[in-house]
Amino acid sequence: MLDGYNGTTLFVSHSRDEVYRICSDIAIMCNGKIDTFGEKKQVFDNPNTISAAMLTGCKNISKAKKIDETTIEATDWGISFVVKPHLGQMNFIGIRAHFFKIANENEINSFQIEVIKIIESPFAITVVLKPNGKSTPIFWEVDKPFWEQIKKTGMPKFLSAQPDDILLLK
């Protein structure tokens, strides 16, 4: 319906899939104010704020403490991560559930996991994890074919996240 219309349209939705499919620019509102605004791909790739990260589907958010220019500690998880160099305010990090990779103990940003719960949906499996003995869970999402491989080889002991996959949030 909107393809032939040349004017400006305000589209309000709570469905991130619908917004991504229909809109070219996105404004995310929080507490009655615009929290984040930009081109949809840029907002999804780098949401910058907790509310934008959550609304774009980020399931893993932790308070963070800057150690140095390229290292932060996710205090809720008790994990230090190497991140891309950053400037400005950053009080939280986010990692999308599908960004985690199976790792070895000595790989960059690896951390030990303990499975709390496994949740099946039509096309994916969400594994709820307890990182490093902390109580704040981490969610890891894998597609069903990959899950079948994990069932054959066994649950990994370590996961990791690449520095470019860690969202720095305020």
pLDDT tens per residue, range 23-44: 889 998 888 899 899 999 999 9
DSSP secondary structure string for all residues of the chain: --TT--S------S-HHHHHHH-SEEEEEETTEEEEEEEHHHHHH---SHHHHHHTT--EEEEEEEEETTEEEETTTTEEEE-----S---EEEE-TT--EE--TTSTTEEEEEEEEEEE-SSEEEEEEEETT-SS-EEEEEEHHHHHHHHHH---SEEE--GGGEEEE-
pTM confidence score: 0.87
What ranges do the domains of the chain cover? 1-57, 58-169
Return the pLDDT at 59.
95
pLDDT band at residue 135 under the 50/70/90 scheme: confident
Least confident of 18-22, 84-88, 101-105, 159-163: 84-88
Does residue 121 have a pLDDT over 80?
yes
Does residue 98 have a pLDDT over 80?
yes
pLDDT band at residue 111 under the 50/70/90 scheme: very high
Burial 128-164 (b: 16+ CB within 10 A, else e): ebbbeebeebbbbbbeeeebeeeeeeeebebbbbbee
Per-residue pLDDT of 62-97, as tens digits, reads: 999 999 889 999 999 999 999 988 767 789 999 999
